[in-house]
């Protein structure tokens, strides 16, 4: 059986402007690989409601699971929750369960529950909350879409909450061989190997270091025996 599939939607002008470097995709990819869930697509959109809504609809229909990051904070440009509600024709307003979490948190820390902070309690009616042990303000899940904060520490905590609830498959295994030759020299034999082992993912990643050119050949798959066989043939084709 093929592994379940996933997509990620990264939301925010600050990412697309280059002001903020996205770290969440890297973390999510690693976690999903260990869980046997294939991250197939990552899409980036600006803080534009029609673009977010269209992307959510498209990804939700195409993949088993979707993760979003960004746009669920207290400021005017945090519009993700409203867009998720619109994408699924769901009503959204301040929810008592989310408000209670925030109220208790701010009371404990001596902060006022103002209108800006209350925005983080606006959750679609059909959603289930995602725990946030870092800063309390919850993420949420609607259907197969998990809506999470963009702050890396909070995103990672929310991923840790959601992953145990998902059905995984066979974890992806990878092996790497460094070949000190240019890709032009190895492309032919490598292509034949890829054709022979079509069930594996065989990638070539070139490098240049100290005046030398070469490539790291990465073989990925789920069956250790098949990977070992492919790696054996790779080493035979390019002896050190």
pLDDT digits (tens, 9 = 90+) for 8-49: 999 999 999 999 999 999 999 999 999 999 999 999 999 999
CATH topology of domain 173-237: Alpha-Beta Plaits (3.30.70)
* CB within 8 Å of 73: residues ≥ 6 apart: 119, 120, 137, 149, 150
**In percent, how much of the chain has pLDDT > 90?**
88
* CB within 8 Å of 48: residues ≥ 6 apart: none
- 145-148 and 139-142 beta bridge pairing: antiparallel
Instruction: Give yes or no for a contact between 178 and 11, defined as CB atoms under 8 angstroms apart.
Output: no
Instruction: Give yes or no for a contact between 63 and 41, defined as CB atoms under 8 angstroms apart.
Output: yes
Name which CATH class applies to 5-165.
alpha beta
What is the C-alpha separation between 216 and 214, in angstroms, rounded? 7
- Give DSSP secondary structure letters for 145-214: EEEE-SSHHHHHHHHHHHGGGS---PPPEEEEEEE-S-HHHHHHHHHHHHHHTTTSEEEEEEEEETTEEE
pLDDT at 144 over 80: yes
**pLDDT-wise least confident of 52-56, 91-95, 140-144, 169-173:** 169-173
pLDDT digits (tens, 9 = 90+) for 189-206: 999 999 999 999 999 999
pLDDT at 8: 98
**Domain map (residue ranges) of the chain:** 5-165, 173-237
Phi, psi dihedral angles at 123 (to 5 degrees): -135, 135
DSSP 121: G
What is the C-alpha separation between 219 and 193, in angstroms, rounded? 11
User: In the sheet where 173-179 sits, what is the strand order?
Assistant: 173-179, 212-221, 201-209
pLDDT at 212: 82
What is the C-alpha separation between 240 and 225, in angstroms, rounded? 22
pLDDT at 125: 97
């Amino acid at each position: 059986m093929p592994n379940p599939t996933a997509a990620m939607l990264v939301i925010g002008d600050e990412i697309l402007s280059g002001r903020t470097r996205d770290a969440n995709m890297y973390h999510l990819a690693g976690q999903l690989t260990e869980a046997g869930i294939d991250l197939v697509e990552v899409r980036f959109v600006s803080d534009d409601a029609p673009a977010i809504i269209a992307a959510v609809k498209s990804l939700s229909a195409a993949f088993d699971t979707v993760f979003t990051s960004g746009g669920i904070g207290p400021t005017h440009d945090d519009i993700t929750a409203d867009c998720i509600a619109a994408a699924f024709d769901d009503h959204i307003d301040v929810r008592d369960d989310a408000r209670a979490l925030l109220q208790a948190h701010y009371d404990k820390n001596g902060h006022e529950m103002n209108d800006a902070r209350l925005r983080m309690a606006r959750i679609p009616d059909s959603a289930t909350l995602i725990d946030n042990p870092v800063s309390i303000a919850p993420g949420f899940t609607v259907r197969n879409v998990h809506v999470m904060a963009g702050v890396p520490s909070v995103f990672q905590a929310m991923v840790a909450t959601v992953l145990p609830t998902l059905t995984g498959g066979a974890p992806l295994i990878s092996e790497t061989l460094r070949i000190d030759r240019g890709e032009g020299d190895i492309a032919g034999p490598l292509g034949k190997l890829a054709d022979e082992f079509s069930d594996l993912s065989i990638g070539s990643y070139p490098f240049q270091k100290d005046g030398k050119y070469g490539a790291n050949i990465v073989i990925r798959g789920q069956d250790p025996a098949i990977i070992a066989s492919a790696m054996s043939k790779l080493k035979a084709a390019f002896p050190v």
